């Protein structure tokens, strides 16, 4: 069900609104969430280069795919949108490569970026971007909002593997992920943790883990042990475990994430 959330809540996740410059949009971007309830939880990776944009989605696994991730129709990621991108200081628009083509014929809300409607209005701050616009979904006009984080290209899949293996709700991870991204030191620690676990988490998501975890190397083994300790409550001093992302953060940061989650999801 679509959730009505004040724009200010999303804007607070991005930070102060500044004009977005065309040259700053080239690169790799990631969005996390569920489009305020319009779609199942997902992670979208957007690459913009030389006037062209392409995105892929890692969708929350269905019950069937959770038990058989390698089955037909369960492979991730899946294409979301591809086309020419036009950008100015306050908007961007994407003209799909194939008009009216949808990689999700059974889900009318996808592809997000190429839904019928006007250009996306944008505000940006540092390495974060919020896109907003009205779009036509099933004949109805609905407001869409999406927060994009500039990330290394490997991060979306690593995050997807980590959250999926941990049984986390991808949609609810938006506040934790976005809040950490705003703090360079916290983001560096979080993404280093994801990177150290990338091989075992990927194999575990696909149901093909190594029988001996030590075969992933000492760094992965240490991170697996550390994550298990965190889950058991053995946390760094002054830290609080953020359950939605399975990662400990300073108490003040955890409080900010909890407040954001309450505002977006009601608790």
pTM across the whole model: 0.87
Q: In angstroms, rounded to a whole number, what is the distance separating the alpha carbons of residues 165 and 157?
A: 12
Total Cβ atoms within 10 A of residue 262: 11
Q: In angstroms, rounded to a whole number, what is the distance separating the alpha carbons of residues 138 and 210?
A: 45
Mean pLDDT across 241-263: 96
Query: What sections of 20-154 are H helices per DSSP?
Result: 63-67
- pLDDT for res 16: 46
Q: For 170-228, write each residue's pLDDT tens digit.
A: 999 999 999 999 999 999 999 999 999 999 999 999 999 998 888 999 999 999 999 99
- pLDDT for res 124: 80
Examine the pLDDT at 110 and tell me if it is beyond 50.
no
**Which two structure tokens, joined as six digits, stand for 240?**
């609080």
Of 150 and 99, the structure prediction assigns the larger pLDDT to 150
The top-scoring range by mean pLDDT among 63-77, 124-138, 149-163 is: 149-163
Question: Which DSSP state fits 117?
Answer: B
Q: In angstroms, rounded to a whole number, what is the distance separating the alpha carbons of residues 53 and 113?
A: 10
- For the chain, the average pLDDT equals 83
DSSP H or E segment with residue 195 = helix 184-196
Total Cβ atoms within 10 A of residue 99: 8
Beta carbons within 8 Å of 38's beta carbon, 6+ residues apart: 2, 109, 137, 142, 144
Q: In angstroms, rounded to a whole number, what is the distance separating the alpha carbons of residues 30 and 153?
A: 9
- pLDDT for res 189: 98
CB 20 within 8 A of CB 124: yes
| 5 — pLDDT class (breaks 50, 70, 90) | low
Q: Where are the beta strands (DSSP E) in the chain?
A: 27-33, 42-49, 52-59, 78-87, 91-96, 120-125, 128-137, 140-150, 239-242, 247-250
Beta carbons within 8 Å of 16's beta carbon, 6+ residues apart: 125
């Amino acid at each position: 069900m679509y959730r009505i959330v004040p724009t200010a809540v999303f804007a607070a996740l991005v930070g102060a609104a500044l004009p977005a410059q065309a040259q700053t949009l080239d690169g790799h971007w990631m969005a996390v969430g569920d489009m305020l309830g319009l779609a199942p939880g997902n992670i979208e990776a957007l690459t913009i280069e030389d006037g062209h944009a392409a995105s892929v989605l890692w969708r929350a696994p269905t019950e069937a795919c959770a038990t058989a991730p390698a089955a037909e129709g369960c492979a991730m990621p899946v294409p979301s949108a591809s086309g020419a991108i036009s950008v100015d200081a306050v908007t961007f628009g994407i003209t799909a490569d194939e008009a009216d083509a949808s990689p999700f014929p059974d889900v009318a809300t996808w592809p997000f970026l190429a839904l019928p409607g006007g250009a996306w209005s944008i505000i940006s701050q540092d390495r974060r971007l919020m896109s907003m616009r009205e779009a036509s979904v099933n004949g109805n006009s609905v407001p869409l909002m999406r927060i994009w984080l500039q990330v290394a290209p490997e991060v979306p899949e690593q995050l997807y593997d980590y959250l999926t293996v941990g049984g986390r709700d991808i949609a609810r991870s938006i506040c934790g992920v976005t809040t950490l991204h705003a703090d360079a030191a916290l983001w560096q620690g979080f993404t280093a943790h994801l990177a150290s676990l990338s091989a075992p988490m990927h194999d575990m998501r696909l149901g093909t883990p190594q029988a001996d975890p030590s075969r992933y190397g000492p760094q992965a083994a240490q991170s697996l042990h550390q994550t298990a300790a965190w889950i058991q409550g053995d946390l760094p001093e002054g830290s609080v475990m953020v359950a939605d992302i399975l990662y400990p953060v300073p108490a003040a940061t955890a409080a900010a994430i909890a407040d954001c989650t309450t505002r977006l999801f009601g608790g």
